[in-house]
A = this chain, B = another copy of it.
C-alpha cells in the first residue's frame, strides 16, 4: 500500500522511482501526510537531462504546426481530466476546488497560446538587404531548458513554461514544488498521451539538490523559475554565472489604490477576491489597499467588513467553503505570526481571522480566517514583507501622488491597480507607476496568455517576462542569415552544359 502513495519522477516517458531521500506530502485540510515524494539526486536529474538532450534533435526538426497540435490535443485532454487534476490540487495545496479550476483554466490558456506556434515563430525576412542580398532571422530553439515552480499554482505556473518552450522546439525538465507535485505530474502524463515523444518533457521531484543539479548541468541552456525573491536571486545569479539564459520571478506586495470617485461597491467586491482568494497565496494577490481620503477608507472598510462576515473557511473540497487552509503548518504559523506582529507594530486589527475555528472534523487542518488591518504604515513589517496569507492592510493617503510614491518606494514591483472613473487619473497612474502589471478597476491584472507576465524591480530577475511574446523570445535564440548567390551558374548556361555533364 505504501508503494501507491509514493510519487516518483517522469523521465524519458517512464515513471521512475529513484532517489534515496523522500519527503511527506500533507493534505492541508486534514493535516495528514497521505503520500510521500521522492527527492531526486544528481543522477536522477542527469538522467532527465540526458533524456531531454537525446530527444532534442528530432523535436527541433518537427514542424511547428505538428508541435502545436500536441498542445491542442493536450488542451482537450486537460478539459476531460479537469476534475481529477483539481482534486489533486486541492488535496495537496488546500485551495477550494473552484480556485483550482480557475488556475487550471489559466494554465490551459497558456497551452492555447503555445498552440499558436506557427504564427509565433515567424521570422523577419528582408529582400534586397543589399543588391541581390537577402537576410532573414530565424528564432531557433535553445535545446534543453528547465523550469522550477512553486507550490501555490501547481498546475498553472508549470503551464506558463513548458508548453511554450516545447512548442518552440525545446525539450524540457520540470522540477515542480515537492509540496504538491501530483497535479503537475498528471498533466505531464497527459502531455505524453497527447503525443509528446518520450524525453521531450521530463519531471523530476526534488529539493535544493535537484535545483542545483539543474543549475550546474552544462546541457541545460535556460532556466525559468518562479518563487520567492531570495531564492529567485540565488537561482538567477547561479544560472547566469553558468552561462545560462535565466529568468527568475520573485515576490510581490501589490497595492490597490482606491480613488474617491471609484465605484466603491465594485472595488470592495473586487478586493475581497484579490485579498483572500486562495488564502492570499498568490504573487498577484492584493495585501495592501491604499485609500485616497479618509472618507474613501471608511467606506471601503465598512464594505469589506460586511463581506468578510459572510465568508466561510473550510476544506477546499466543500463547495460551501470560500477559503481553504494554508499550505503547511509551518506557513500557518508564519502568517499568524505576522498578524501578531501587525498588532504589536500598532496597526488596528479590525478583523482577526485567528479566531476562526477549524470546521468540525478538520481540527488539524491549517485554517486561518480573513484578517483586516487599518492604519498600516510603511514602517511596519506587515507593510514591507510578503505575507502570502489572508491578511489585508489598509493604508490611508491624501492624494494619488502620495499613494503612488508609496508604491514606488517599495522593493517589489509586480502588480498594482487603481480604482477610479477618471481617464486622466488612470492614464497618469499607468504611465508613471514603477510596476510591471497594472490594473484599472481590475484588481489582479495578470496579463492574458497572449501578453506576458513580468514584474519590475525585485519581483523579476532577467530581461524577459514569462509566457506570451516574452516567453517566445526567452525560449528561442535569434539566428540571422545573410545570403547571396553567385551568378553565371545554372541560369545562363543551363541548356548546354548541364545535361551533358550528368
Contacts and interface: CB of A to CB of B under 8 A. Distances in A.
Interface of A: 61-65, 68-69, 72, 75-76, 109, 112-113, 115-116, 118-138, 140, 236-237, 240-241, 243, 245, 259-263, 266, 292-293, 295-296, 398-401, 420-428, 430-431, 435-442, 445-454, 456, 458, 461-465, 469-470, 473-474, 477-492, 494-495, 498-502
A495 B398 contact: yes
A426 B427 contact: no
A440 B478 contact: no
A489 B116 contact: no
Contacts of A72: 72, 75-76, 112
Given A65-B109, A445-B481, A421 B486 contact: yes
Contact of A293 (B137, B430, B495): B495
Nearest to A245: B463
B436 A477 contact: yes
A448 B129 contact: yes
A462 B474 CA distance: 11
Tell me which of A62, A125, A436 has the highest count of chain B C-beta atoms within 10 A of its own C-beta. Answer: A125
B116 A436 contact: no
B448 A484 contact: no
Nearest to A404: B491
Contacts of A441: 483-486
A450 B63 CA distance: 13
Contact of A436 (B263, B480, B494): B480
Given A126-B121, A127-B121, A293-B495, A260 B490 contact: yes
B425 A490 contact: yes
